[in-house]
Structure 1
Amino acid sequence: MTTAPAAEADRPRSRAGRAAAVALSGVAFAEVCAAVIGSVVLGRGVSAALDSFVVTNAAMGLAFSMCGLLIAWHRRGNPIGWLLIADGLGHATSAVAVPLVQYGQDTGWPTAALRVLVTVGAYAWPWSIGLCLPLILQLFPDGRAAGPALRVLMWATVATAPLFVLEMGAGPDGMGTGLSGYLVLSGHAGLAPLWLVSEIRVVITVVIGLVALAVRYRRGDEARRRQLLWLLQAVLVVAVVLTVWGVFASGPVLILLAIPLIPAAIMVAILRHQLLDIRLVFSRTVLYALLTTGVAGAYMALVAVLDTVMRRQVGLGGSVAATVLIAVGFNPVRVRLQRVVDRILYGDRADPMRAVSRVGERLDAGLPGVLEAVREALRIPYAALNTAGEVVVSGRPPHHLHTYPLRYGKQDVGELVVGLRPGESRLSGADHAILRLLAAPLSVAVHALALSEQVQHSREQIVVAREEERRRLRRDLHDGLGPVLTGVTFKADATGNLIATDPDAARELVAELRTETAQAINDIRRLVYDLRPPALDDLGLVGAIRQRATHLRRDGIAVHVTAPDTLPALPAAVEAAAFRIATEAMTNAVRHSRASRIHVRIDADTQLQLRVSDNGDSPHAWTPGVGLSSMRERAAELGGSLTAGPGPDGGQVAAILPMGAS
């Protein structure tokens, strides 16, 4: 965090840096303007300006310096902006030197002054090609070397740059002006082996820059890779253009105007790399560059072969046959190359089944592994799953997000949130097609995870309930039945000792033993009833409920039980749950609604249906209490359901219990 004094101290340096960038870029701009105006005033014609590289140097000087100014203004600590300004100054100085020398020759300037201008012009632009541009490639985009080894190679580039400058500047041609500069080597032509080394050195420095870009691309995140693709896109276009112009000596000098694409791409990559989806542009550029190269090579090879075979034996022109064959084979090659390039940049977007298979293979890795597979399949920067309040995230969220619902059957199980690629405001049709297919395994994974969590939660509840029940039984046996039986044992011993000596006291102890034994029997019955009401085994479900209804009738409550004459065999758990729910519902009706009539109805087919209704005063909304919660839990434990609340004529409780529960 920058402190206030440090920020205040940094402001003058920031203003000075920006002022220096503006001044240097202004010099380059003034030189470009002077070169253009001078060429027009001299009237030498466009052809002469092109042949002397005034037009191309002026264009490169303006592009490099202005792009460098923007970077230096907004990223003052990044040396790439200053390297671009220096590159632009070199080209602009060479551009303005030619018309100045020509104007001086026409107006009779001193020869010494003209030779100085020729020297400056000849030695200015080679620094741009031999030093600035290779360093820009090696330091892009953050201004630091990509590693210790590349840092050493960067300094080697700096140290060997004067060799290329000497090769270009010390030549005797005098920039096409007819004059020689002061730093010309008389034996320049005889140093051809040295100049070959210089040319190789330029190629090597550019290759080092490309290697540095490749290293950064491999190590970088999504944002860094998009920055690199901007520069790689420009370098690819310029490389194709310069190959055609330099290697095959084909095309006008204006073809060099492709070089300003490099500073423009660098500026956008550093300042606005999310301007558009550069991966789509790069994909198409790579595709058509490969196609162009392949078609050109195939055309030349076929012309050479068919010229020999067909012209002599068939009499058909070889170039015509080659053109026909290339036209026939062009589209299949284009389609195949398009798939290869798109797979590199967009993953399996064009192959939905492959994407689904990849996601399916990662289902056992959990939701994080599934999201990683989705990102790999679509080459997207971000993916997240929202499931019942839980969020699983993979990657960093970009500015634009798209939400895709996940459904399992008719149930919404969550949402898949994907980050759109930079430059995209919506998903393409291919993306939607894959997401529709991926929604199925993702929904299954989310639903399975939810079920697994529910099963685990149920297991935990079962264990807790079992241990609580054991604790209650132990407490009741230890604190209630245990002391009573211990007392019975002691009194039985005392009774035996008193029978012969004191029969009256023995009879009193026997009476106490009878009372305590009856109490122990009641405790045992209570424990047994808590485990399972004995009436269920003696009378069945309907009989047990009717027995309970009889007790309520003694209190003046009219209770009517409607049930089939014979119920199917019910699992013990269903019987116990239905009895507990019925007795709890009847008891609540008596206690809370002041009901005078209660109706219990039991039906059974594929499931047991129990309904308890009353004519009491029922509030508009029932407040969940221990009894109501207990009834719902008993139904839920068996996979059933329970509804309870006020009805049109009073309160009612309705439970549905599956017959297959055990």
Structure 2
Amino acid sequence: MERKEMIVARTGLSRFSAAGLLGASVVLFFVTAFGAGLVSAVDAPSTADIIWFAGFLAFPLVGGLIAWHRPENRVGWLFLAVGVLQYGAAVMDGLSQHMVATHPGSVLGPLLVLVQNALFALGWVCATTYPLLLYPDGRLPTPRWRWALHATTAALAVLITSVVVTPGRVFEDDYAQNPLGVPALETVAPAVTTVTLFVLLGLTMIGMASIIVRWRRAGGADRDRLAWLALAAVVFIVTTVAGLVTDAWTPEWAGAALEGIGVAALPAATGVAVLRADLFDIAVVLDRTIVYSVLTGLVIAAYLGSFAATSTLLAPDPSRSASLLATAVVAVSLSPVKDRLMRVVDRLLFGDRSRPYQVLTHLAERLARTNALEELLRTVTDALSTMLRLPHAQVLVGAEVAAAPHMLALPLISHGRQEGTLLVGRRSGQARFDAAELELLTDLAGQIAIAVRAARLAEDLRESREHIVRAREEERLRIRRDLHDGLGPLLAAASLQVDVLADRALDAEASRLISKIKALISQSVTDVRQVVHGLRPPSLDDLGLVGVVREHATALRVAGLHVVVDCPDDLTVNSAAVEVAAYRIVTEAMTNVVRHADAGTCTVTLNLDEHRLRVEITDDGTGLASPHRDGVGLASMRERADELGGSVTVAAGHGGGTRVIALLPVPSSSAARM
């Protein structure tokens, strides 16, 4: 309860402070705008000056809103400080002029000038560098950016100090001297001031770079907040350029209004980004603003260029004719430019939706190179997101699913069966897809359905083949055990009984018959052993996969090949099919090393995780021939891996020789028992 009361009290104090700073800014603005003319020796500001100063009111107004609703966000407090500092500097300017004019010998006037400069410098970094580093949540992009914050503070302190200790006149047209100036620093202090100003400018550029870093890492709402800042930058650039272009034939207050709009753009955009980033689709507004600003600039430039050219051609009385001709030239020449620009914008916002045939063709080409179902689903997601600029695209295989309010669900139907659902998300600010785009998505869904059906059937076929192979090996294992444990002992017992019968034979004919029966039994035992060995190598049951590999490695050492076996002693494979395939692949690969590689060392590595067995055989031999063709042994290894849904890769080793890697899927314990 006490903690809750403390939070409430702290929030109330924050709001009271925000209201106080906002009120101080408003009061100082009115003092600056309407009180200057009441003080002697101070000229009253013009209408243009008042309009320009009014643009800075956006900082404390927006800062007050942010501090009221998000008191933990330092950007709001910085904007509140801008209002107090900017208008405080203006008040100090008026008071310093008054004191210097009415009290020439007083030190108060020059001191007020120094205070004005310090307040203006503080206002600059509070309006630019600091907010850029902390935008939009009041925190740095990462702790590594803390140095820029500290460097700005240090540079600001150095700047104020260098200005304070610079000796000389505080006004260029007045004899008033800086009372705090140090004569010994007459040449050093101005140089430090100049260098520090450039340092602060560089730190402001670094603050802009931090916005770029945030943009690259951001997504969703965070990217929208950054887009608002980009919109403010566009507005500032457009108003500045417009003011420069129109300055010659517009009243002074019009240029001041454009400058005021440019100044207010940053705090206004920041306020919306922090408090209501989802007000509308900022990406669309930003792109449209950029496009129409560029288009307007082209229109003006083309008009002025055409007017100047026709004025020269139609001299000496060019005004009316040149104007008409320039207008016609602009109307005719910029129409295709406008269409081209609109197509570029439409592609940036909506991708290739205006070229449905190209979208269908591109998707078909990508699907044709995709085999696995999981890879196909990723391909569809990437293709639709890229080609149509969709915020979300997903294929769900199976039964129909319900779509979220901002999503569109399209059934994937092929040969009368629903293979799944295509979910696509509407773009931000888009209430629904238009008819042409909906038709394109429907056509894409039909194409995707066919690909999903083909991939699913191929996967079902592969799984069925794997199941058959695994079942075959398990059945072979069962038959081998039955022959070894059942028929083998019976034949051995029959042979013993025949021996007993031979000892009791009464005549030679009976002895010959008994010998023949014993021979048949011995032949049957040999045949059973051959059948058992053909079904499954007995050594796998006696020694296990690791033991068999090490035994084979020992046998190859006689041929002069040093074999290193790297695998856990307790490695156990719960699938008879995988165990046999791994055994055949390893023995065939090591045999190939002896026959063809002319190697001195061979390394066999076996690793087993939850999903697969990895078998790797490397040697330091002569390596692969170029061009390389699979022989009977390699083809056999690939077939054994393919049967289980695995793969065999044969490539050159890192340090020479050859490397064979086999990846064999291992079923779960429950699946292996099925």
**TM value normalised by structure 2:** 0.57
**Matches of residues 524-563 of structure 1 in structure 2 within 5 Å?**
none
Matching of residue 51 in structure 1 with residue 54 in structure 2 = no
Q: Is the 8 A contact 1:287 1:334 kept in 2?
A: no
Shift in CA distance, 5/344, structure 1 to aligned 2, threshold 3 Å: farther
**Partner AA of 2:286 in structure 1:** F
Matching of residue 401 in structure 1 with residue 407 in structure 2 = yes
Equivalent residue number for residue 226 of structure 2: 228
Shift in CA distance, 381/453, structure 1 to aligned 2, threshold 3 Å: same
Equivalent residue number for residue 24 of structure 1: 21
Match of residue 71, structure 2, among 56, 71, 76: 76
Match of residue 243, structure 1, among 241, 244, 252: 241
Matching of residue 464 in structure 1 with residue 470 in structure 2 = yes
Equivalent residue number for residue 132 of structure 1: 126
**Partner AA of 1:130 in structure 2:** W
1:10-60 deviation digits (Å, cap 9, x = unpaired) = 665554434322221222234456678879x99xxxxx8653622442353
**Partner AA of 2:49 in structure 1:** F
- Taking the aligned partners of 2:470 and 2:400, their CA distance within structure 1 comes to 25
Equivalent residue number for residue 655 of structure 2: none
Shift in CA distance, 498/124, structure 1 to aligned 2, threshold 3 Å: closer
1:155-176 deviation digits (Å, cap 9, x = unpaired) = 5774587599999x966799xx
Q: How many residues align?
A: 481
**Partner AA of 1:413 in structure 2:** E
- Taking the aligned partners of 1:254 and 1:57, their CA distance within structure 2 comes to 10
Q: Is the 8 A contact 1:57 1:91 kept in 2?
A: no
Equivalent residue number for residue 418 of structure 1: 424
Equivalent residue number for residue 451 of structure 1: 457
- Taking the aligned partners of 1:55 and 1:435, their CA distance within structure 2 comes to 52
Shift in CA distance, 86/227, structure 1 to aligned 2, threshold 3 Å: same
Equivalent residue number for residue 632 of structure 1: none
Shift in CA distance, 438/500, structure 1 to aligned 2, threshold 3 Å: same
- Taking the aligned partners of 2:84 and 2:463, their CA distance within structure 1 comes to 72
- Taking the aligned partners of 2:200 and 2:293, their CA distance within structure 1 comes to 23
Shift in CA distance, 157/82, structure 1 to aligned 2, threshold 3 Å: farther
Match of residue 265, structure 1, among 265, 269, 288: 269
Match of residue 379, structure 1, among 360, 385, 389: 389
**Partner AA of 2:50 in structure 1:** V
Q: Is the 8 A contact 1:311 1:317 kept in 2?
A: no
Q: Is the 8 A contact 2:155 2:196 kept in 1?
A: no
- Taking the aligned partners of 1:369 and 1:74, their CA distance within structure 2 comes to 44
Matching of residue 282 in structure 1 with residue 279 in structure 2 = no
**Matches of residues 563-602 of structure 1 in structure 2 within 5 Å?**
none
Equivalent residue number for residue 612 of structure 2: none
- Taking the aligned partners of 1:320 and 1:202, their CA distance within structure 2 comes to 50
Match of residue 438, structure 2, among 432, 435, 445: 432
Q: Is the 8 A contact 1:35 1:58 kept in 2?
A: no
Shift in CA distance, 343/120, structure 1 to aligned 2, threshold 3 Å: farther
- Taking the aligned partners of 1:158 and 1:358, their CA distance within structure 2 comes to 56
Deviation of the 1:287 alpha carbon:
0.3
Q: Is the 8 A contact 1:119 1:182 kept in 2?
A: no
The structure whose Rg is larger is 1
Equivalent residue number for residue 331 of structure 1: 335
State, as a whole percentage, how many aligned pairs show the same letter.
33
Equivalent residue number for residue 216 of structure 1: 214
- Taking the aligned partners of 1:203 and 1:210, their CA distance within structure 2 comes to 11
- Taking the aligned partners of 2:180 and 2:437, their CA distance within structure 1 comes to 62
**Partner AA of 1:71 in structure 2:** I
Shift in CA distance, 411/234, structure 1 to aligned 2, threshold 3 Å: same
- Taking the aligned partners of 1:407 and 1:34, their CA distance within structure 2 comes to 73
Matching of residue 60 in structure 1 with residue 50 in structure 2 = no
Which segments of 5 or more consecutive residues in structure 1 lack a partner in the other structure?
43-47, 175-179, 186-191, 392-396, 521-662
Deviation of the 1:236 alpha carbon:
0.8
Match of residue 256, structure 1, among 255, 259, 265: 259
- Taking the aligned partners of 2:424 and 2:148, their CA distance within structure 1 comes to 37
Deviation of the 1:325 alpha carbon:
1.1
- Taking the aligned partners of 1:371 and 1:449, their CA distance within structure 2 comes to 16
- Taking the aligned partners of 2:313 and 2:32, their CA distance within structure 1 comes to 55
1:299-342 deviation digits (Å, cap 9, x = unpaired) = 22233333223447999833332221111122211222233344
Q: Is the 8 A contact 2:409 2:424 kept in 1?
A: yes
**TM value normalised by structure 1:** 0.58
Shift in CA distance, 237/50, structure 1 to aligned 2, threshold 3 Å: farther
CA RMSD of aligned residues (A): 5.4
Deviation of the 1:195 alpha carbon:
11
Q: Is the 8 A contact 2:159 2:197 kept in 1?
A: no
Match of residue 136, structure 2, among 138, 141, 155: 141
Q: Is the 8 A contact 1:275 1:423 kept in 2?
A: no
* 3-state SS in 2 of match to 1:53: helix
Q: Is the 8 A contact 2:95 2:109 kept in 1?
A: no
Matching of residue 89 in structure 1 with residue 84 in structure 2 = yes
Q: Is the 8 A contact 1:385 1:414 kept in 2?
A: yes
Deviation of the 1:5 alpha carbon:
9.1
Which moves more between the two structures, 195-204 or 468-477? 195-204
1:125-177 deviation digits (Å, cap 9, x = unpaired) = 8447632322223432234455658557745774587599999x966799xxx
* 3-state SS in 2 of match to 1:273: coil
Equivalent residue number for residue 306 of structure 2: 302
Q: Is the 8 A contact 2:156 2:200 kept in 1?
A: no
- Taking the aligned partners of 1:58 and 1:292, their CA distance within structure 2 comes to 27
1:52-81 deviation digits (Å, cap 9, x = unpaired) = 6224423532x2112112222333333211
* 3-state SS in 2 of match to 1:414: strand
- Taking the aligned partners of 1:314 and 1:70, their CA distance within structure 2 comes to 55
Shift in CA distance, 173/76, structure 1 to aligned 2, threshold 3 Å: farther
Shift in CA distance, 127/199, structure 1 to aligned 2, threshold 3 Å: closer
